[in-house]
Amino acid sequence: MDVDQIVEMLISYGINLLGALVFLLVGLKVSGMIAGAVEERMQRTEMEVLLQPFLVSLLRVSLQVLVVISVASMLGIAMTSFIVVLGAASFAVGLALQGSLANFAGGTLILLLKPFKVGDYIESAGYAGTVKEIQIFYTLLDTFDNNRVVVPNAVLSNSSTVNYSVNPIRRLDFALEVSYQDSIEKVKRTLHEVVNHQSKILEDPPHQVLLGDFSDSAVVFYLRVWCRNEDYWPLNFEMREQVKHAFDDEGITIPFPQREVHLVNQR
């Protein structure tokens, strides 16, 4: 190879290298502008704040990878082997991070669909508590006794969830057992009076006092009342105490299981 050929090759390669460098700089600049525009658009929407940085970063990195692949192609690098290696590496990383990716997918669904929010009291996958924080991979719950439970989002997104806070009112049900000797009308009247003296019970929907069942040692009445969500637990305990006092005042008996034993005298 003579000097002229070497010079010609260097010039040709230099032009390609310069063009690739310019394309790289412009491509990175444009990808940053696109990511910035998308980020501004997200900030004007109601998209979950936790998702915005991740999605913008994912878009920016994806655009930058496309720019680098294009630059490598301009320099004459064989892309088939490069793509195969990249695919194998991505597959290996995906297997290694399978659990984390499942949690991320679950967190994304929770943040987008919003089946619950911070401050809601939920029950799901054997856990119950107030939602303190929704992260990308985990959701943090505080239980009644103030224990912190860290639940993987993959578990929450694939399980049935009861959200006790989503509706403004709730129904509170009581199963009350009274003696067979007590008057049905007297029991109903007493329960109605207890309800009428309780300020936390809503008038609409109306409460119900129903004779529900006959057990072995008692007649079972069902008392159903409606209250505001925040009054549910205080009302639950207040009503039990007030019903017991009312039954005592009216002489209504709350029976306990009894068994009669007959002794046969065998001689």
Looking at the chain, the whole-number percentage of residues with pLDDT higher than 70 is 79
Q: Round to the nearest angstrom and report the end-to-end CA distance of the chain.
A: 130
Predicted TM-score (pTM) of the model is: 0.63
Strand ranges in the chain using DSSP code E only, listed in sequence order: 121-124, 127-134, 138-142, 148-152, 161-163, 169-178, 208-214, 219-228
Fold assignment, 169-250: Alpha-Beta Plaits (3.30.70)
Contact in structure between 159 and 124 (CB atoms under 8 Å): yes
CATH of 115-163, one of 3.30.950.10, 3.40.50.620, 3.30.465.10, 2.30.30.60: 2.30.30.60
Query: Which fold is adopted by the domain 3-96?
Result: Helix Hairpins (1.10.287)
Choose the weakest-confidence range: 68-77, 178-187, 238-247. 68-77
Q: What is the pLDDT of residue 83?
A: 64
Average pLDDT over the chain, rounded to whole?
83
CA distance 184 to 23: 88
Domain ranges of the chain: 3-96, 115-163, 169-250
Q: Distance of CA 2 to CAs 5, 6, 7, 9, Å?
A: 6, 6, 9, 11
Q: Is residue 175 scored above 70 in pLDDT?
A: yes
Which pLDDT tens digit goes with each residue over 15-52? 777 777 887 788 888 888 888 888 777 777 766 665 66
